[in-house]
Amino acid sequence: MAVTSTLFAPRSLTVEQALRQYFGFSTFQAGQREVIDQVMQGKSTLAILATGAGKSLCYQLPALLLPGTTVVVSPLIALIKDQVDILAERGIEHVAALNSSLSDEQEAAECARISTGEIKLLYVTPEKFEDQSFVALLSRLHISLFVIDEAHCISAWGHDFRPAYLSLDKVIRMLHEPTVLALTATATPSVREDILSQLGIPFATTIVRGFDRPNLCYEVFRADTEREKLDQLKKMFLGGLTGPGIIYTATIRSANEVQRALHEYTDSPVALYHSKLHKQERTIVHDLFVNESVPVVVATNAFGLGIDKANIRFVIHYDLPGSVEAYTQEAGRAGRDGNPARCVLLYRLSDRHVQSYFLTGKYPTVEDVQKVYATLELFAHQDGGVSLVDLRKISQLPLTKLKVVIALLKRADFIVVKDRSRYELSESARQKDQLVLNLTNYATKYSYDQSKLAMMLQYAENSSCRRRFILNYFGEEYPRMHCQACDNCLRKQAAGVSTHVHGATQRPAFRIADSVTHRTFGQGTVERTERDLVTVLFPTVGYKTLLETVLTST
């Protein structure tokens, strides 16, 4: 029998009263009220809200009004910690968090609290659902709302594929199919469709509220050498660039070089942040930046998620990111207070080789899957299964790729989890039942990601409005040809170039989200248009920019 909490009885407060009483706000930001209304009516929802638009409120507020427990799946322990701390400061105490940082004793104590049904908000990382006893514990509770934060991680077409997210559809069914809320700031139309499919909620309501951040100024500087990049960086700082700000690099080596260079021409302290630092060092840098003891951090993309800092004045990408999604999410950490902020990209064409290298270790081949399966088969009679560490040693696969293989095998019921990070063949696999592992999608993923990298390069080389490029990429029309808040538009304005749209002569043959057909690539969806060129997303090959004359409406 499910445990039902009487704490915060449903409907005891109106949504507006709860907003004021628990969060101290008098009004909602764009999209928040619509999402909350859907959730309160028990309707599963995918919400695409801009970075800094207050996504967390969309589940925190309903959690206090709905009966039972709200489960929030979040990808980062630091992000979870920040959320829990902020809620505690607001006097909201019936909150718990489970992740790998807890000792066995701490986890047992938290599970005991959860089992009473009095926890209103439970934060977990997706890997926690590998623990079947934990899923069984949740299944005995009244889970009224199941939230997937950073939901693009569940999509193989998203920019941050996370294997552990692949099992969430099964978890939802095991929890008696509660209302589902998926949230993200960066999802193209194809990614949105994939998220709903992966979660098993294809008919959920989708709410999209503005990717446009009018206070952000987008700028791009191209360089032929690393020296030119550093010179451009120096020019910006000597020209009065002030923080707080973040400089992103693609590699740890690059981060070290940039930090050393900055020390030469800025009096402000510059911190370094990357995944190879000890946890304590990373925590110190995080706290120094948030408290403004250090105004500038040079970092890999390991830095940023979970930083609740509204007044970041610039985000500089020293290297070309792997996708427009990754770029806009990281750049979008600037200017959350609504005041002007700069989003600058420094790049050279050879940067794309670094990102191409990263892509080679991301998705498994059939041979990779066979290698892992053969290892599990070899140790089929070993009590307790095979550990992740041993699987990695034997298969010699990169950790990310190995985790993807394991997630695929689990989803297809080839393997089961015996204990934390230990796996063995399922009974069906042992009996050689007709199990089928669908790797069809993965045959196209590398070319798809390469096409996303090409779109990022297209953004960098683009000579028209950069804001319009970004909004079109995410399926949003921009009513103006020029924003007057990116380097290209400002350059044209300074040169006296007309920024007015001239009626029908500017009307494209296709519009965003139109379905079109190409003789070779098949059916696709229009992502953006520029004069007589149309960028189309094809399911099998990714993004292609083509002449409009080679396309037909579907």
Token pair for 162: 């996370």
CB within 8 Å of 348: residues ≥ 6 apart: 222, 223, 224, 225, 226, 228, 229
Please indicate, yes or no, if residue 29 is contained in any of the structural domains: yes
Token pair for 330: 């990281």
pLDDT at 502: 45
141 secondary structure, DSSP code: B
Please indicate, yes or no, if residue 192 is contained in any of the structural domains: yes
Token pair for 313: 């004045």
Tell me the pLDDT band of 439, cut-offs 50, 70 and 90: low
Is the pLDDT score of 194 beyond 90?
A: no
CATH code of residue 180: 3.40.50.300
pLDDT at 4: 39
Please indicate, yes or no, if residue 444 is contained in any of the structural domains: no
Give the integer Cα–Cα distance in Å for 42 and 146. 11
Asked if 311 contacts 246 with a C-beta cutoff of 8 angstroms, the reply is no
Tell me the pLDDT band of 410, cut-offs 50, 70 and 90: confident
Torsion sign (Cα): 423, 100, 182, 39: positive
Domain boundary residue, one of 151, 180, 209? 209
Residue 12 β-bridge partners: none
Residue 245 backbone dihedrals phi, psi, to 5 degrees: -155, 160
Asked if 536 contacts 475 with a C-beta cutoff of 8 angstroms, the reply is no
CATH code of residue 370: 1.10.10.10
Residues in the chain: 554
**Amino acid found at 120:** K
Please indicate, yes or no, if residue 7 is contained in any of the structural domains: no
Considering the domain architecture, whether residues 131 and 74 belong to the same structural domain is answered as: yes
Considering the domain architecture, whether residues 230 and 88 belong to the same structural domain is answered as: no
pLDDT at 159: 61
Considering the domain architecture, whether residues 119 and 233 belong to the same structural domain is answered as: no
pTM above 0.95, yes or no: no
Residue with structure tokens 């990281």?
A: 330
Average pLDDT over residues 266-291: 88
The mean-pLDDT minimum among 18-22, 443-447, 485-489 falls in 443-447
Average pLDDT over residues 86-91: 86
Token pair for 53: 């638009």
Considering the domain architecture, whether residues 153 and 172 belong to the same structural domain is answered as: yes
Name the domain count of the chain. Answer: 5
Please indicate, yes or no, if residue 9 is contained in any of the structural domains: no
The mean-pLDDT minimum among 214-223, 418-427, 482-491 falls in 418-427
Considering the domain architecture, whether residues 497 and 512 belong to the same structural domain is answered as: no
Give the integer Cα–Cα distance in Å for 304 and 328. 13
The more confident residue out of 156 and 465 is 465
Torsion sign (Cα): 517, 523, 525, 528: negative
Please indicate, yes or no, if residue 494 is contained in any of the structural domains: yes
Give the integer Cα–Cα distance in Å for 475 and 135. 37
Tell me the pLDDT band of 436, cut-offs 50, 70 and 90: low
* Other beta carbons less than 10 A from residue 121's beta carbon: 22
Average pLDDT over residues 511-538: 84
Give the integer Cα–Cα distance in Å for 361 and 401. 6
* Other beta carbons less than 10 A from residue 471's beta carbon: 21
pLDDT at 190: 79
pLDDT at 12: 66
Please indicate, yes or no, if residue 533 is contained in any of the structural domains: yes
Average pLDDT over residues 297-311: 81
| Percentage above 70 pLDDT, the chain | 91
Considering the domain architecture, whether residues 518 and 476 belong to the same structural domain is answered as: no
pLDDT at 179: 96
pLDDT at 3: 41
Considering the domain architecture, whether residues 326 and 402 belong to the same structural domain is answered as: no
Give the integer Cα–Cα distance in Å for 273 and 298. 6
pLDDT at 2: 42
Residue 141 β-bridge partners: 3
| Percentage above 90 pLDDT, the chain | 34
pLDDT at 490: 94
Domain boundary residue, one of 209, 242, 277? 209
Considering the domain architecture, whether residues 197 and 228 belong to the same structural domain is answered as: no
Is the pLDDT score of 118 beyond 70?
A: yes
Torsion sign (Cα): 32, 37, 42, 44: negative
**Secondary structure (3-state) at 266:** coil
Of all residues in the chain, what percent are helix, strand and coil, respectively (each to 5)? Answer: 40, 20, 40
Is the pLDDT score of 5 beyond 50?
A: no
| CA 505 vs CA 467, 488, 508, 534: distances in Å | 21, 21, 8, 16
Token pair for 463: 């000579």
Is the pLDDT score of 305 beyond 70?
A: no
Considering the domain architecture, whether residues 331 and 407 belong to the same structural domain is answered as: no
Considering the domain architecture, whether residues 82 and 186 belong to the same structural domain is answered as: yes
pLDDT at 160: 64
- Nearest Cα neighbor of 358 from 545, 161, 75 is 161
Considering the domain architecture, whether residues 497 and 526 belong to the same structural domain is answered as: no
pLDDT at 315: 97
Considering the domain architecture, whether residues 120 and 251 belong to the same structural domain is answered as: no
Average pLDDT over residues 389-415: 85
Residue 143 β-bridge partners: 69
Please indicate, yes or no, if residue 8 is contained in any of the structural domains: no
Asked if 384 contacts 419 with a C-beta cutoff of 8 angstroms, the reply is yes
Is the pLDDT score of 306 beyond 90?
A: no
Is the pLDDT score of 419 beyond 80?
A: no
The mean of the pLDDT values for the chain is 85
Domain that holds residue 110: 15-209
The 10s digit of each residue's pLDDT in 452-510 is 888 999 999 999 999 999 988 888 888 887 898 999 999 998 887 665 544 444 566 78
- Environment class of 138 (CB within 10 Å of its CB; exposed 0-12, middle 13-18, buried 19+): buried
* Other beta carbons less than 10 A from residue 461's beta carbon: 11
Tell me the pLDDT band of 84, cut-offs 50, 70 and 90: confident
